[in-house]
């Protein structure tokens, strides 16, 4: 990606995608403003049109990334051949996790990388930030069992910090400070990450072949989903994400992403360049940086290192939240971290694209709030409409009926909705034509999965909009969400738990419906796709958390079980019912 031609290609792709997105936003602004002015101009028309501009730009920006992924192919990347030369450590940060499940992943990855013949150059380090004394005691016991059963003493290490200052980023920084000089590369995982041994070796080969490469990110595939919600998310991640990721790779070039896990870094580059500042003031905008990964990628790029995502790297896996409530809780932390990036937009020396990545992260959480503001402004709009003058021509006795702009409003609505659905339908068509749909049960089953996912997304979107809005308001109101431990397990909710999590969404939907009936009854049919899911939010939370059918939303990891998942399951079966 160093050649002048490659730089020009990235610049052209960025310019084209940004131009298309801006033109779509301006088009939405103009079309809506003309519609709003049909009954006379008022300030609320400009407010709503401005909200449409920003929201349409953001939706288009997501859509054109998919189109870029469908119409481009990643450039060939250099890779070393023969035996590896540098030592690599696989870092597994844990925080109040089940050590049996987590350490079984380490045993599986150790076994897998040893099978490549290159395992002697890989170590594993368990970096514990666990605060629960009982869990910490279990970690120590299971670590001893891990060493006994793998015979890998001297290659697997465990330590627990006295203070979890800086959370995960501080945990990794502490390791680099104490032990980083021993290794050339470090693979950073989450506690639920799994990577094939061949993938670990291939990542090192690519790092060794590119001395300027500071970080290489893989695209993790979600696995082991059990609930209806998580199976839909698992399918979406497997089916759509590779295309979006390819578009992202083409657009970002050397200033690529870091998602905090399932990536490899050059230890010296990371240690010298990616140290995180502690922001002045109190959380949520001050203190330790929560979404540290974006910032670390920006700091590496600032220092001249290449940060790259290779969408062709397989064998990288993770698990996802099992219900919408757990998803919203995790998203609450990401929301705070992304909004916190507003403090870094003017940080000295950052690449322009890194700053834009921060803007994207901020917009990803503000955009749903803007949509909600647009809906509320539409309900309130009749209060600002000036009286219609049916006799604007002096001396003319016949009334002049204002021209209806309903057709333009309908065109705008169709355009906005197509931005949500069209990329996914194009990805489906591409998957069928290229044969990729076979891994998802064939063309018919893949089509059914996509259509069902689109339906569920339309129903779940208003519920997520409310969770997102609450998160943004909490952050803007100065409330720190902290860094709660991840919740694992089957994630099924009872009706009472679903009601406890969603009653306020029902209340908000009822208030919205009442306001619409009072101020703008003609809008009620148009608002029903938003208001009805809000009124039934607890049922949606409950139903989607129940166990899903394994015959639906098939993914390649289920039609052909990856070797690393089989190894992990074998270790869990071996350890099930045994004490350390």
pLDDT at 461: 93
pLDDT grade for 489, boundaries at 50, 70 and 90: low
**Pick from 198-207, 395-404, 536-545: least confident:** 395-404
**Pick from 181-190, 423-432, 518-527: least confident:** 518-527
pLDDT grade for 48, boundaries at 50, 70 and 90: confident
Could you count the other beta carbons within 10 Å of the beta carbon of residue 435? 9
Q: What is the mean pLDDT of residues 516-538?
A: 90
44 pLDDT above the threshold of 90: no
- Report how far apart, in Å, the C-alpha atoms of 269 and of each of 72, 121, 274, 369 are: 30, 20, 8, 38
Q: What is the mean pLDDT of residues 202-216?
A: 96
Q: What is the mean pLDDT of residues 78-104?
A: 92
pLDDT at 390: 46
Mean pLDDT, the chain, whole residue set: 89
pLDDT at 520: 82
pLDDT at 401: 43
pLDDT at 420: 81
**Secondary-structure breakdown of the chain: helix, strand, coil percentages, each rounded to the nearest 5:** 60, 10, 30
pLDDT at 387: 58
Residue 485: partners with Cβ closer than 8 Å, 6 or more residues away: 95, 96, 97
Q: Per DSSP, what are the bridge partners of residue 318?
A: 222
**Pick from 320-329, 455-464, 475-484: least confident:** 475-484
Question: Could you give the angle at the alpha carbon of 219 between the alpha carbons of 5 and 550, nearest 5°?
Answer: 145
Q: Which two tokens stand for residue 345?
A: 């937009």
Instruction: Name the more confident of 21 and 374.
Output: 21
pLDDT at 285: 94
pLDDT digits (tens, 9 = 90+) for 61-89: 999 999 999 988 777 788 888 889 999 99
Q: Which two tokens stand for residue 402?
A: 């204002």
Q: Per DSSP, what are the bridge partners of residue 88?
A: 122, 185
Q: What is the mean pLDDT of residues 433-458?
A: 95
- 484 φψ region: left (φ > 0), alpha (ψ -120 to 50), beta (else): beta
pTM (2 d.p.): 0.91
Q: What is the mean pLDDT of residues 288-304?
A: 95
Closest CA to 332 of 226, 484, 108: 484
**Pick from 89-93, 425-429, 460-464, 477-481: least confident:** 477-481
What is the distance between the alpha carbons of residues 37 and 409, in angstroms, rounded to a whole number? 12
579 pLDDT above the threshold of 50: no
pLDDT at 490: 67
pLDDT at 535: 98
pLDDT at 94: 95
Closest CA to 234 of 244, 220, 247, 245: 220
What's the chain's Rg over C-alpha atoms?
26
pLDDT at 142: 96
State the first-to-last Cα distance of the chain, in angstroms, to the nearest integer: 49
What is the distance between the alpha carbons of residues 553 and 446, in angstroms, rounded to a whole number? 7
Q: How many residues does the chain have?
A: 580
Whether residue 115 has a cis bond before it, omega within 30° of 0: no
385 pLDDT above the threshold of 70: no
Instruction: Name the more confident of 422 and 184.
Output: 184
pLDDT grade for 487, boundaries at 50, 70 and 90: low
Q: What is the mean pLDDT of residues 396-400?
A: 50
Closest CA to 545 of 226, 134, 208: 226
130 pLDDT above the threshold of 90: yes
Asked if residues 492 and 323 have their Cβ atoms less than 8 Å apart, the reply is: yes
pLDDT at 1: 47
165 pLDDT above the threshold of 80: yes
Beta strand 88-94 pairing with 316-318: unpaired
197 pLDDT above the threshold of 60: yes
pLDDT grade for 144, boundaries at 50, 70 and 90: very high
pLDDT at 569: 95
407 pLDDT above the threshold of 50: no
Beta strand 306-309 pairing with 221-222: unpaired
223 pLDDT above the threshold of 90: yes
Percent pLDDT > 90 in the chain is: 70
Closest CA to 97 of 144, 147, 138: 138
């Amino acid at each position: 990606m160093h050649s002048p031609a490659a730089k020009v290609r990235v610049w052209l792709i960025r310019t084209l995608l940004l131009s298309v997105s801006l033109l779509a936003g301006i088009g939405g602004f103009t079309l809506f403003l003309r519609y709003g002015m049909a009954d006379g101009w008022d300030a609320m028309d400009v407010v709503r049109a401005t909200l449409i501009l920003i929201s349409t730009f953001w939706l288009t920006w997501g859509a054109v990334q998919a189109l870029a992924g469908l119409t481009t192919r990643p450039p060939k990347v250099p890779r070393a051949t023969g035996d590896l030369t540098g030592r690599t450590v696989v870092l597994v940060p844990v925080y109040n996790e089940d050590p049996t499940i987590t350490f079984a992943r380490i045993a599986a990855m150790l076994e897998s990388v040893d099978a490549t013949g290159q395992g002697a150059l890989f170590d594993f380090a368990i970096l514990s930030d666990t605060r629960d004394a009982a869990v910490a005691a279990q970690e120590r016991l299971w670590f001893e069992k891990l060493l006994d059963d793998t015979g890998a003493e001297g290659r697997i290490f465990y330590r627990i910090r006295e203070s979890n200052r800086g959370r995960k980023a501080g945990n990794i920084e502490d390791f680099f400070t104490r032990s980083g000089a021993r290794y050339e590369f470090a693979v950073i995982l989450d506690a639920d990450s799994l990577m094939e041994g061949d993938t670990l070796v291939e990542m090192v080969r690519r790092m060794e072949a590119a001395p300027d490469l500071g970080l290489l990110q893989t695209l993790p595939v979600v696995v082991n989903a059990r609930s209806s919600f998580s199976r839909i998310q698992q399918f979406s991640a497997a089916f759509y994400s590779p295309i979006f990721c390819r578009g992202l790779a083409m657009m970002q070039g050397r200033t690529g992403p870091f998602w905090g896990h399932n990536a490899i870094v050059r230890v010296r580059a990371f240690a010298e360049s990616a140290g995180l500042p502690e922001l002045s003031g109190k959380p949520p905008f001050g203190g330790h940086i929560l979404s540290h990964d974006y910032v670390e990628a920006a700091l590496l790029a600032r220092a001249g290192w290449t940060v790259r995502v290779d969408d062709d790297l397989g064998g990288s896996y993770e698990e996802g939240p099992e219900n919408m409530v757990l998803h919203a809780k995790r998203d609450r932390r990401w929301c705070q971290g992304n909004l916190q990036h507003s403090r870094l937009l003017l940080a000295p020396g950052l690449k322009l694209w890194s700053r834009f990545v921060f803007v994207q992260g901020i917009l990803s959480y503000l955009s749903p709030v803007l949509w909600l503001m647009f809906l509320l402004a539409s309900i309130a709009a009749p209060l600002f409409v000036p009286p219609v003058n049916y006799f604007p021509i002096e001396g003319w006795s016949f009334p002049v009926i204002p021209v209806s702009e309903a057709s333009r409003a309908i065109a705008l609505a169709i355009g906005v909705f197509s931005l949500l659905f069209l990329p996914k339908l194009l990805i489906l068509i591409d998957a069928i034509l290229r044969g990729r749909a076979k891994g998802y049960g064939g063309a018919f089953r893949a089509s059914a999965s996509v259509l069902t996912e689109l339906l569920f997304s339309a129903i779940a979107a208003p519920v997520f909009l409310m969770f997102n809005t609450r998160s943004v308001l909490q952050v803007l109101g100065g409330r720190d969400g902290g860094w709660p431990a991840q919740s694992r397990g089957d994630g099924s909710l009872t009706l009472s738990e679903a009601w406890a999590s969603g009653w306020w969404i029902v209340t908000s939907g009822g208030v919205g419906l009442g306001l619409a009936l009072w101020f703008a009854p003609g809008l009620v049919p148009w608002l029903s796709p938003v208001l009805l899911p809000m009124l039934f939010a607890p049922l949606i939370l409950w139903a989607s958390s129940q166990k899903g059918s394994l015959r639906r939303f098939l993914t390649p990891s289920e039609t052909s079980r990856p070797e690393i998942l089989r190894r992990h399951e074998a270790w869990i079966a071996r350890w099930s019912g045994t004490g350390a």
